Amino acid sequence: MWQLLQFPLCPFSRKVRLMLGEKGVGYELVRESPWLHRDEFIDLNPAGTTPVMVQGQLRLRDSWAICEYFEETIDRAPMIPGDAAARAEIRRLVAWFDEKFFREVVGPLMEERMLKRLVHRASPDAKILREAMKNANGHLDYIDWLIDHRRWLGGPVLSLADLAAAAHLSVADYLGGIDWRGHEQTKQWYAGLKSRPSFRPMLSERMEVITPPPHYDKVDFWE
Amino acid sequence: MWQLLQFPLCPFSRKVRLMLGEKGVGYELVRESPWLHRDEFIDLNPAGTTPVMVQGQLRLRDSWAICEYFEETIDRAPMIPGDAAARAEIRRLVAWFDEKFFREVVGPLMEERMLKRLVHRASPDAKILREAMKNANGHLDYIDWLIDHRRWLGGPVLSLADLAAAAHLSVADYLGGIDWRGHEQTKQWYAGLKSRPSFRPMLSERMEVITPPPHYDKVDFWE
């Protein structure tokens, strides 16, 4: 059985968990708080980041490497499907969410609303929060545009692009950083993902001391 | 013929160019300065980053997606070789250099010694430069350690891990951020990479107004 070291609001771990769920790979969750810099964790992953996956002597570090590993070893439910050009487009969007959306939206929200509360015992910076939420709105416009042109974000079928986007969006949403008004296309696409068996268990988990907004775990946002 | 949009000191473009060189893929260089935010470039890549590759209707964006594309389509000189676990280790190290080494060393050096000069017309911040060079030393220790345990960074053969590391190191070295003293293993490994036909053309290129240190393009560092 794989062990997956993570914390509930790690967007990169969520992306991996969605992929493992779609592929039907079992794993045991192990809580890791990377901001504590535990020696044993740094031994496992010198980069100091979650997720890390362990099975026997095998260690997988870095969410990109982990996703490609399971895409290569588990044929079920291909998440980087299609020809080389289609796969490049899916990977471009995964990088978009892992890098750009994380840097402009999720990272600042985690810093201001999670790490400042859990670690630094400081108040969030309202200006940084406003900027992150404004950036989020621009990203939702881009997702709206993608869904106007394609069935799923990366192309005609569900792919790692959708899982990466949903993973990051779900963390931003938990932290109150997403204003869904005026983004009906994205809302419907996200409702579809929320209702998948790979997603549902994550929505019931909570990060200590931080409460998500009421719509967070509702598939249709309001019930 | 592929077109590759980049600027001489883009480490992600250098990684892609090293890979194309090893695989024998021809391309034409097109100069792009992403900090100018040219509309036509944003149309090509909404993320606004180099490298971008174009051939006919096909556009490849994001250096990770580009490297995987050529690994999948060109059999010659596999750069992510081995079984799934070996490939995960190579990708972990690529992510190490693209994310951690870039964030802690190359990014700050580019900001202080390149963008401040070219764009902001400001002086570099000596404190940030010192911190980046101190970080670089820690990374060189890690590369020394890897080479003490393996033939190449990612395992027994040359891989994308070496190319990514060399790409980022070469930009940091150009910008005067690397003190090679006390890192003989890394120096020898890097000298070997510098002498490869895929690397040599890059070493002769110059970024406007910024001059590299004298050892920069010397394979053995002193001749």
DSSP class per residue in B53-105:
EEETTEEEESHHHHHHHHHHH--SS-SS-SSHHHHHHHHHHHHIIIIIIIIII
Does A189 fall in a domain? yes
Domain check: are A114 and A21 in the same one? no
- Contact (CB, 8 A) for A160 and A80: yes
Residue A22 is inside which H or E element, if any? Answer: helix A11-23
For chain A, the average pLDDT equals: 96
Does A220 fall in a domain? no
Interface test with B, best of A23, A50, A64, A80 (most B CBs within 10 A): A64
A100 to chain B, any CB pair closer than 8 A? The answer is yes
Residues of A in contact with B89 (CB under 8 A): 65
Does B134 fall in a domain? yes
Residue recorded with tokens 């209707």? B57
Give the other-Cβ count within 10 Å of B83's Cβ.
Answer: 9
Residue B89 has a pLDDT of 98
Pick the range with the lowest mean pLDDT from A78-82, A165-169, A202-206. A202-206
Position A107 pLDDT exceeds 90: yes
Taking residues A47-53, report their average pLDDT: 98
B68 to chain A, any CB pair closer than 8 A? The answer is yes
- Burial class for A45, CB neighbours closer than 10 Å (0-12, 13-18, 19+): buried
Distance from CA of A129 to the nearest CA of B (A): 22
Report the residue of chain A nearest B90, measured CA to CA: A65
Residue B222 has a pLDDT of 63
B72 to chain A, any CB pair closer than 8 A? The answer is yes
Low-confidence ranges of chain B (pLDDT < 70): 222-223
Does A24 fall in a domain? yes
State pLDDT tens for residues B23-68: 999 999 999 999 999 999 999 999 999 999 999 999 999 999 999 9
Domain check: are B199 and B90 in the same one? yes
Burial letters for A89-100: b for 16+ Cβ neighbours within 10 Å, e otherwise? bbbbbbbbbbbb
Residues 135-174 of A with CB under 8 A from B: 142
Position A223 pLDDT exceeds 80: no
- Contact (CB, 8 A) for B132 and B104: yes
Residue A205 has a pLDDT of 94
Does B215 fall in a domain? no
Residue A34 sits at the vertex; the CA angle it makes with B85 and B167, to the nearest 5 degrees, is 55
Rounded Cα distance between B185 and A208, Å, is 46
Residue B100 has a pLDDT of 98
Residues of A in contact with B61 (CB under 8 A): 88, 92
Domain check: are B15 and B97 in the same one? no
Domain check: are B39 and B121 in the same one? no
Q: Are strands A2-6 and A27-31 parallel, antiparallel or unpaired?
A: parallel
Rounded Cα distance between B52 and B66, Å, is 8
CB–CB contacts below 8 A, A to B: 69
A2 to chain B, any CB pair closer than 8 A? The answer is no
Domain check: are A169 and A106 in the same one? yes
Packing angle between helix A160-174 and helix A11-23, nearest 10 degrees?
130
Does A79 fall in a domain? no
Distance from CA of A48 to the nearest CA of B (A): 10
Does B222 fall in a domain? no
Domain check: are B41 and B124 in the same one? no
Does B30 fall in a domain? yes
Non-local CB neighbours of A6 within 8 Å, separated by 6+ positions: A13, A16, A17, A29, A30, A31, A32, A50, A51
Rounded Cα distance between B127 and B120, Å, is 18
Residue A219 has a pLDDT of 85
The total domain count for chain B is 2
Interchain proximity B47–A85, CB inside 8 Å = no
Domain check: are A197 and A88 in the same one? yes
Domain that holds residue A171: 84-203
Domain check: are A46 and A144 in the same one? no
Domain check: are A114 and A193 in the same one? yes
Fill in the DSSP letter of residue B201: H
- Nearest CB among B62, B72, B91 relative to A95 is that of B62
Residue B15 has a pLDDT of 98
Instruction: Indicate the residue among A73, A95, A117 that finishes a domain.
Output: A73
Interface test with A, best of B2, B50, B69 (most A CBs within 10 A): B69
Domain check: are B53 and B104 in the same one? no
Distance from CA of B223 to the nearest CA of A (A): 36
B46 to chain A, any CB pair closer than 8 A? The answer is yes
The CATH number of whichever domain residue B112 belongs to comes to 1.20.1050.10
Domain check: are A112 and A69 in the same one? no
The CATH number of whichever domain residue B8 belongs to comes to 3.40.30.10
- Nearest CB among A62, A87, A95 relative to B91 is that of A62
What percentage of chain B carries pLDDT values higher than 90? Answer: 95
Domain check: are A62 and A90 in the same one? no
Residue B221 has a pLDDT of 76
